[in-house]
Amino acid sequence: MKVIYPGSFDPVTYGHLDIIKRCADKFDEVIVAVLHNNNKNGFFSIDERLELLRKSTEDMPNVKVDSFSGLLIDYAKLKKVDIVVKGLRAVSDFEYELQMALANRKLYNSLETLFMVSNSKYSFLSSSIVKEVVLNGGDVSCFVPDIVKDSLRKKIEGGL
C-alpha cells in the first residue's frame, strides 16, 4: 500500500521525520510530497527542501521525495495513490485538518486521509519555530538533523 505525506517542509524537522519513519514501517511506499506554491516564498527553495528531505530519509528505502503544485487530489490521482497521511500535533491542528480532509474527499471520493498522532516529544514543533530559533542565534540540534541545521546556518550567512 502506498501513501502520500504532503506538506511544506520548510524545512523538514524531527517531527516530520517521526511521521515519515512510522509510515515507512507500516506502508510499502511513502511519497513525501513538497507543495510548490508559486504565491508563497519559502525560506528554502523547493530544490533545497527536496534535497534536505532526501538526505534526511536516505536510510528509508521505501520513502520517495517529490514535489507537486496545484491540488493535492490531482497529484494523488496522477500518482494513483488514494491515501494521504497527515500528522496531528495537538487538538488545534484538528479543525483545519478535518476541513481539508473533508474538502479533499468531496473533490475526490476515493481519497482517504489518515491522521497519525505526532510523537509527544515533537507536538510543539513547527518549521517556523525552528527558523525563529536559528535566526535568533539559538541551537536547533534537538529539532532538526545536522544536515538541516548546517543548511539553516549557511542560508543565514548567505552561503546557500
Catalytically annotated residue among 56, 89, 118, 151: 89
Q: How is 49-111 classified by DSSP, letter by letter? A: HHHHHHHHTTT-TTEEEEEE-S-HHHHHHHHT--EEEEEE-SHHHHHHHHHHHHHHHHHSTT-
Contact 116, 24 (CB under 8 A): no
Among 3, 10, 49, 144, binds ligand COA (CB under 6 A): 10
N residues, the chain: 160
Site string for ligand COA, 11-50 (x = CB under 6 A): --x-xx--x---------------x---------------
Contact 69, 35 (CB under 8 A): yes
Among 31, 53, 125, 140, binds ligand COA (CB under 6 A): 125
Among 44, 89, 144, 151, binds ligand COA (CB under 6 A): 89
Stretch that binds ligand COA, among 20-28, 54-62, 126-134, 147-155 (CB under 6 A): 126-134
Q: Which amino acid is at 111?
A: L
Stretch that binds ligand COA, among 44-52, 55-63, 119-127, 147-155 (CB under 6 A): 119-127
Report helix, strand or coil for 156. Answer: helix
What residues are labeled active site? 16, 40, 89, 127
